[in-house]
Copies of this chain bind each other. A is one copy, B any other.
Amino acid sequence: MPKGDSTPLSAPPELGDMSADDFRRHGHALVEWIARYLDHTDRYPVLARVAPGDIAKNLPAQAPETGEPFEAILEDVDRVLMPGVTHWSHPGFMAYFGISASAPGVFADFLASALNQQAMLWRTSPVSTELEEVTLRWLADLIGLPPSFEGVIYDTASVSTLHALATAREAAVPGVRAHGLPGRGDVPRLRVYCSDQTHSSIDKGVMLLGLGHDALRKIPTDDRFRMRPDLLRTAIAEDRVSGWRPIAVVATIGTTSTTSVDPVAEIADICEAERLWLHVDGAYGGVCGMLPEMRGHFVGLERADSFVVNPHKWLFTPFDLSAFYCRRMDELRQAFSLTPEYLRTPDGARNLSDTGVQLGRRFRSLKLWMILRYFGADGVRARLREHIRLAKAFADWVDAHPDLERLAPVPFSVVCFRANLRGRSMSPADLDAFNEALMHRINASGDVFLSHTKLRGAFAIRVAIGNLRTGEAQLRRVQELVSLGVGTNNEKRPPETTNLSSSLAHRGPGQTDM
């Protein structure tokens, strides 16, 4: 390949990468493959129809000794891998949280991998370092976080929360970075508080940090699954008397099971009075700060010490991208920064690897930038509102259905319900078994995929709306499958369908209450 004088020859082709011609050929084929896939994810059953081991047994036990044509590899994607895919991009995916790998996000990941930026230092990727700062500021402004919050991108909310708790530990126990926790007479047992609905990543965080699972005290919730501030206050007082040292509270805006919203403002009052770190987990619900009509859920957030929201959950971002915000980021850096000689640079710039445990950092901000530009703030809001509207409509249908029972309020886009048949008295265990079987029957259709939780001990089916492809048709299909499962045959179905349609008439998100 001839090049100009100033461009030295690189590695010989047989020891280099794929040629540019081959890259074009395979790249274009892959674009066609992905376009077909994304356009027709509904050709596949949502939930993979394989048993554990089915994929592995179709793969060779050893890597090939000789390289293979890329065409052969792509053929095996179809033949060997695709049967093992659970289709998170399927319009009927309504399990866990509905998430979306939107096209601009997928393109951004493609480009980020090609650029292979590693933003451990500013100089190793000025663009990734600065685009991270800019896009996180964009997101903060959209959500309503004041400028006192500085942002950084991690991979997952588990890691974001871990950094929040680590900094809370550092703030509470001066010198813990240097001297640690064991063998010190001056460090009492530390306590972290969250509700009984809080995500399990908090549990993992306190375990990893050496606080121990005992350090996490779970505060009971009210009938809407919100942390009870009165019981939080009592717990802190009790603990202080018993020799624990309270250090942090985790409140959630949009819990995993029901998307309930803890009373952040009241919890912030307590944290201020007690001088505790307040971390707010908005991994799922946080993006709704973009909707003025939802801001009520966010009152008090501006007083938090740290906050996490995951664009890979409900901001149409391919997995993974967790946005962490902190009002005390200098303390976080004090807890983590270390600069060995080989990482010293003369530019005086802020290096992102000082803001956490991970030295290496993929160019994740590129996807947040492309997504916010492609959809625009207004486009994002419209999509969030549509998901909330669909959830509200589905909740109304559940409420109107004589054989169904809604088990939680619907502040965002997740509906928890169960079948509870008229005139049939079942034991709690039988009712759970009936609903579990119902969910599996629905999932076996291949058209939709729902997950479950337990609420006050009862098995609850969850319908989580958040995928860009999900629309009314998928919810009608859930209604059909649920109706079939509770014995409402098709002839008797009109009222339900009407309910969905009628509730679709009064637009606007609003919160569906119990």
Contact = CB atoms under 8 A, between A and B. Distances in A.
Interface in A116-155: 116-118, 122-127, 130-131, 133-135, 137-139, 141-142, 155
B20 A158 contact: no
Contact of A179 (B35, B199, B212): B212
Interface stretch (A45-53, A272-280, A391-399): A45-53
Contacts of A209: 208-210
27 contacts: A8-B91, A10-B469, A11-B91, A12-B471, A15-B471, A18-B374, A23-B38, A27-B35, A30-B31, A31-B31, A38-B114, A53-B130, A54-B130, A63-B373, A64-B376, A65-B376, A67-B379, A85-B125, A157-B359, A159-B358, A178-B214, A180-B207, A180-B212, A181-B212, A182-B189, A204-B338, A319-B360
Q: How large is the interface on A (under 10, 10 to 19, 20 to 34, 35 or more residues)?
A: 35 or more
Interface string A306-323: 000000100010111000
Contacts of A357: 158-159, 162, 201, 204-205, 208
A411 interface: no
A184 interface: yes
Contacts of A16: 468-469, 471
Contact of A158 (B8, B18, B73, B358): B358
A489 interface: no
Interface string A73-103: 1000100011111101101100110011111
Given A22-B103, A77-B111, A210-B182, A130 B55 contact: yes
Interface stretch (A261-269, A291-299, A449-457, A490-498): A449-457
Interface string A198-220: 01110111111111111100000
Interface in A1-15: 1, 3, 6-12, 14-15
A190 interface: yes
A66 interface: yes
A34 interface: yes
Contact of A11 (B106, B134, B335, B468): B468
A177 interface: yes
A56 B128 CA distance: 10
B35 A377 contact: no
A499 interface: no
A106 B110 contact: yes
B166 A91 contact: no
A102 B16 CA distance: 9
Contacts of A85: 115, 117, 125-127
Contacts of A95: 124
Given A11-B469, A23-B39, A166-B208, 18 more contacts: A9-B473, A14-B382, A15-B383, A18-B374, A27-B31, A31-B31, A54-B130, A62-B141, A67-B374, A67-B376, A67-B378, A70-B374, A72-B373, A77-B111, A113-B319, A181-B181, A182-B187, A204-B357
